[in-house]
Chain A
Amino acid sequence: MLSTFWSGFLRFVEKNSKENPVIYSLLKQLRPIEMSEKHIVLSCDNPGFVFFLQKKIHFVEGYLFDHTKKRLRIEIVVKAQNKRQEPPLLRFEPTIEDVFKKAGLNGTFTFDNFAVSSSNQVAYAAAQAVSDSIGKAYNPLVLYGGVGVGKTHLAQAIAQKVLAKKPNKKVLFSPGDLFTNELIEGIREKNTPKFRRKYRQLNLLIVDDVQFIAGKNTVQEEFFHTFNAVISNGGQIVLTSDKPPHEIRRLEDRLRSRFAGGLTVDIQSPDFELRSAILLIKAREKNIDIDLETAKIIAEQVADSRALEGTLLSLYAKTLSNGGKINLEAVEDFFMNVVEQKNKRVSPHDIIKTICTYYDVRQSQLKSPNRAENIALPRQIAMYLLRKELGLKYDQIATLLKRKDHTTVLHGFEKIKSLLARNDIFKKEVDRIVNTL
């Protein structure tokens, strides 16, 4: 019906086409696809035709009126001839591993292989909530805790879950030092817009170990704007840190207040049960044969979950010769050696250095006569740890820290000891230091 009408119309135009030869020949190449009382829709595969005809549309409408005695409006649409399959390059979709890699994830940290117990269940639930509705639940989500408690694991698991559901989301997992380095590089190459494009348009930005940006003014400034841009675009921010935001020294106040604007969750050191569970999970992932009793013994000895994995692997390597079965005997042998090694490894200097970094004081200050609170406390902690961890004698410690005699050290040691007993927060702080040794 439509095509009969159209060919009738074309014959009519042909008769009158003396003045408009081009219009007629172009009209012949159009196909009518829809017609009503008021308008007719024509389709065409060449955009050039449409440009030309649209300028001359009143001629065509004039012909139509002459032919049908009706005022009809003409619409022309460009349609590709045949919708074929996408060509191979454009059909290519990166695999989920590619997507993870691009986002800076290593692909092994998921919610499924995260062991949950009372020490980390709040953080786990918060991370789950954030990954289910990014930008809406808690923004930002700040996870803090000592070494090897699973901050990075949870942060990566959030990113993985988001990407697994929607691979086209812009997600980036950026260690704090990477953020700093990329910014410096951008400034050096005079290409900060590129840096901004990369960070400010993200749907999910995770900055791991955000405490690394503290004390660096330009970086904090840039991070402040990045933070605002991401959040105002509806994006989600997840941060991890080794201490709660209010304890991060030399962090700008405006950042501190923004970090506190969402949810701040603390992940505590894994307790014994959790450590056993982690060990069993790791063993299963690596196909290492280990029984529950043995796992418990290892978990008793090793406090840090990263060290758990290391211990497991070294044990496995040692027992490979007799079938790879890790048994009680092997474990006992192993720990005998490790204790000795550890004492050898940590030097008094390491302890002093770690404390100074943690509290952001200089070693010279620690060894000076200055008795200001912010220096005296780290100094006393140093005394305590030198004694507790390395078993040094009081007068040795006094020499190390340039104190007059051993009584000062004794006093410091006792003071910290009692503080630890009374003050839970303080205890965690000291535990974190010990963990980083």
Chain B
Amino acid sequence: MSFSGLRCVENLERILYTYPQSLILRSINTMKINIDKDLLLDNLTVASRFVSNRFSSVPSLQGILFETKDKHINLYATNLTSFFHTKIKNPTTEEKKIVFDPKKVMEFLSLLTPGIVELDIEDSQLVIRKDKTKGTFSLINAEDFPYPPIVKEKEEKIKTDVLKKHLPLVLFAASSDDTRPVLNGVNFLTQDDEIALVATDGFRLSLLKMKKEDSIPQMLVPKGFLEEVVRLSKEEKEMGLRFSEKEKVISFTFGDTTVYSRLITGDFPPFEKVIPSESKTKAVIEKDEFLRNIRIVSVFAREVSNIALLSFGKDGITMSPKTERDDQNSTLQDADVEGPPQKVAFNFKFIIDFLMHAPDKKKIIIEVLRPDAPVVFKIEGNKDFLHVIMPVRIQT
């Protein structure tokens, strides 16, 4: 041992003497890791969804942190609000920390044939080898890369069923526009033994109430993060939940992967007043047919600022694009309509959005109060859920 170590030092001195410095340092610090290509690619793909392209001016936030420690490869990604961390078992004992942009790496990996790839991690670049193929990728300064927040609270196991089943019905209604952070999330409201999930983007709103079974706390959680949580929970029956009231952080754990998110702070707008408690006209219709019909109308409605006109009458609902000349394009949907006839105009995209998330083979109940009041959509047999869409004002 000591002998070979000594020889090393001797060699080093010789090299130092003959070669430029940078080259030597690189050759000393090179670290080799063997890993299954698909395992790496899959994890990078999930991690990359936590990278936000909003931070183009902050290079290290464009990347993924790749850190070897305790016989594991740790992957970290963040957009400063949500964080991703996963551990992959690997026999390597060296400790190393690099950041690289995942896009190019992922594209390269996806084109390789399955099997083990060899990673050469050098100081300023990452080299990936597979058989006779070799790709070199530049690294980003790893200093300062933000680690996920530390949550000291105890982990609780909760079932994923509830969230998997219900969250998508609410999630799509949350806003994707960053100008008003409180609308970017799903509001979890606990009331006695009930929990309500609300999301709105200011044009439509989803509200779901359910019996509180797990200890889901009261919180406002970013939409993008929850979308990833739903995706990650697809294969899982249970997940670990940790919540820190003080740090305003929530984390979900699936096996070796943990995702964290800062909660949104601020007041969710008062939403109860926009849900009408009364209705004058009520229609019950087949979801699949409704979706098909509204798509037919959308072909023409695209030219008239996406506005589709729904006329509720005795025979059913006549749908047409909002145009000056009536009757040119229209379709009549059979429906059981109760109450006086009404004409309501919608942005058809909101209706399609809702129908895409409503379960198949179910009936949809539409409740209209007035053409200028929010319209309530319900799913037959599910009285805990409702969706509200604000009609578009039109001159009649």
**Contact between B201 and A52, CB atoms less than 8 A apart:** no
**Contact between A92 and B192, CB atoms less than 8 A apart:** no
Minimum C-beta distance from A105 to chain B (A): 12
Give bound CA distance, A78 to B202, whole Å: 21
**Contact between B179 and A80, CB atoms less than 8 A apart:** yes
**Contact between B273 and A48, CB atoms less than 8 A apart:** no
Q: Mark B369-396, 1 if CB is under 8 A from A, else 0.
A: 1000110000000000000111000000
Q: Does A82 contact B (CB under 8 A)?
A: yes
Q: Does A87 contact B (CB under 8 A)?
A: yes
Q: Does A418 contact B (CB under 8 A)?
A: no
Q: Which chain B residues border A101 with CB–CB below 8 Å? A: 277-278
**Contact between B143 and A20, CB atoms less than 8 A apart:** yes
Q: Which chain A residues border B143 with CB–CB below 8 Å? A: 18-22
Interface of B, secondary structure class, is loop
Q: Mark B56-76, 1 if CB is under 8 A from A, else 0.
A: 011111000000000000000
Q: Mark A182-202, 1 if CB is under 8 A from B, else 0.
A: 000000000001100100000
Give bound CA distance, A47 to B55, whole Å: 13
**Contact between A90 and B200, CB atoms less than 8 A apart:** yes
Q: Which chain A residues border B204 with CB–CB below 8 Å? A: 89
Q: Which chain B residues border A28 with CB–CB below 8 Å? A: 57
Within 8 Å by CB of B192, from A45, A48, A193, lies A193
Closest to B175 in A: A87
Within 8 Å by CB of A47, from B264, B274, B389, lies B264
Closest to A21 in B: B141
Within 8 Å by CB of A98, from B144, B269, B276, lies B276
Q: Does A323 contact B (CB under 8 A)?
A: no
Closest to B269 in A: A90
**Contact between B373 and A98, CB atoms less than 8 A apart:** yes
Q: Which chain B residues border A18 with CB–CB below 8 Å? A: 143
**Contact between A88 and B194, CB atoms less than 8 A apart:** no
Q: Which chain B residues border A82 with CB–CB below 8 Å? A: 179
Give bound CA distance, A89 to B180, whole Å: 15
For window 199-214 of chain B, which residues contact chain A by CB distance below 8 Å?
200-205
Q: Does A49 contact B (CB under 8 A)?
A: yes
Q: Name the residue among A22, A28, A49, A197 with the largest chain B CB count within 10 angstroms.
A: A22
**Contact between B60 and A21, CB atoms less than 8 A apart:** yes
Q: Which chain B residues border A29 with CB–CB below 8 Å? A: 57
Q: Which chain A residues border B313 with CB–CB below 8 Å? A: none
Within 8 Å by CB of B278, from A48, A49, A86, A98, lies A98
**Contact between A88 and B276, CB atoms less than 8 A apart:** no
Give bound CA distance, A197 to B192, whole Å: 9
**Contact between A87 and B276, CB atoms less than 8 A apart:** no
Q: Does B341 contact A (CB under 8 A)?
A: no
Q: Which chain A residues border B269 with CB–CB below 8 Å? A: 86, 90
Give bound CA distance, A396 to B156, whole Å: 80
Q: Which chain B residues border A89 with CB–CB below 8 Å? A: 200, 202-205, 274, 374, 388-390
Given the known interface contacts A51-B262, A87-B203, the answer about A25 and B59 at a Cβ–Cβ threshold of 8 Å is: yes
Q: Does A46 contact B (CB under 8 A)?
A: yes
Q: Does A317 contact B (CB under 8 A)?
A: no
Minimum C-beta distance from A102 to chain B (A): 5
Given the known interface contacts A21-B59, A26-B58, A47-B81, the answer about A80 and B181 at a Cβ–Cβ threshold of 8 Å is: yes
**Contact between A88 and B262, CB atoms less than 8 A apart:** no
Q: Which chain B residues border A22 with CB–CB below 8 Å? A: 58, 60-61, 143-146
Closest to B388 in A: A89
Closest to B58 in A: A25
Q: Mark A26-50, 1 if CB is under 8 A from B, else 0.
A: 1011000000000000000111110
Given the known interface contacts A22-B61, A22-B144, the answer about A88 and B181 at a Cβ–Cβ threshold of 8 Å is: no
Q: Does B193 contact A (CB under 8 A)?
A: yes
**Contact between B278 and A47, CB atoms less than 8 A apart:** no
Closest to A84 in B: B179
Q: Does B191 contact A (CB under 8 A)?
A: yes
Closest to B192 in A: A193
Q: Does B79 contact A (CB under 8 A)?
A: yes
Within 8 Å by CB of B146, from A47, A52, A84, lies A52
Q: Mark B276-288, 1 if CB is under 8 A from A, else 0.
A: 1110000000000
Minimum C-beta distance from B363 to chain A (A): 23
Q: Does A23 contact B (CB under 8 A)?
A: yes
Give bound CA distance, A157 to B203, whole Å: 35
Q: Which chain B residues border A94 with CB–CB below 8 Å? A: 273, 276, 373
**Contact between A48 and B80, CB atoms less than 8 A apart:** yes
For window 38-72 of chain A, which residues contact chain B by CB distance below 8 Å?
45-49, 51-52
Give bound CA distance, A29 to B57, whole Å: 9
Given the known interface contacts A26-B58, A90-B269, the answer about A19 and B79 at a Cβ–Cβ threshold of 8 Å is: no
Q: Which chain B residues border A93 with CB–CB below 8 Å? A: 273
Q: Does A287 contact B (CB under 8 A)?
A: no
For window 250-278 of chain B, which residues contact chain A by CB distance below 8 Å?
262, 264-265, 269, 271, 273-274, 276-278
Q: Does A81 contact B (CB under 8 A)?
A: yes
**Contact between A47 and B79, CB atoms less than 8 A apart:** no
Give bound CA distance, A82 to B177, whole Å: 13
Q: Which chain A residues border B200 with CB–CB below 8 Å? A: 89-90
Q: Mark A355-374, 1 if CB is under 8 A from B, else 0.
A: 00000000000000000000
Minimum C-beta distance from B369 to chain A (A): 8
**Contact between A102 and B194, CB atoms less than 8 A apart:** no
Q: Mark A163-192, 1 if CB is under 8 A from B, else 0.
A: 000001000000000000000000000000
Q: Which chain A residues border B277 with CB–CB below 8 Å? A: 98, 101-102
Closest to A85 in B: B202
Q: Which chain B residues border A81 with CB–CB below 8 Å? A: 179
Give bound CA distance, A21 to B80, whole Å: 15
Closest to B173 in A: A89
Closest to B271 in A: A90
For window 31-86 of chain B, which residues contact chain A by CB distance below 8 Å?
54-55, 57-61, 79-81
Q: Which chain A residues border B60 with CB–CB below 8 Å? A: 21-22
Within 8 Å by CB of B81, from A25, A48, A90, A168, lies A48
Minimum C-beta distance from A34 to chain B (A): 21
**Contact between B374 and A19, CB atoms less than 8 A apart:** no
Closest to B142 in A: A21
Can you list 25 A-B contacts (CB < 8 A)? A19-B143, A19-B144, A20-B143, A22-B58, A22-B60, A22-B145, A25-B59, A45-B179, A47-B81, A47-B262, A47-B264, A47-B265, A48-B262, A52-B80, A80-B181, A81-B179, A82-B179, A87-B202, A88-B202, A89-B204, A89-B374, A92-B273, A98-B278, A102-B278, A197-B191
Q: List the 4 shortest-distance A-B pairs measured between CB atoms, nearest first.
A: A87-B202, A48-B80, A48-B81, A89-B390
- Seed contacts A46-B178, A51-B80, A102-B278; 12 additional CB < 8 Å A-B pairs: A18-B143, A19-B143, A21-B141, A22-B58, A25-B61, A47-B262, A78-B181, A88-B203, A89-B389, A89-B390, A92-B273, A98-B278
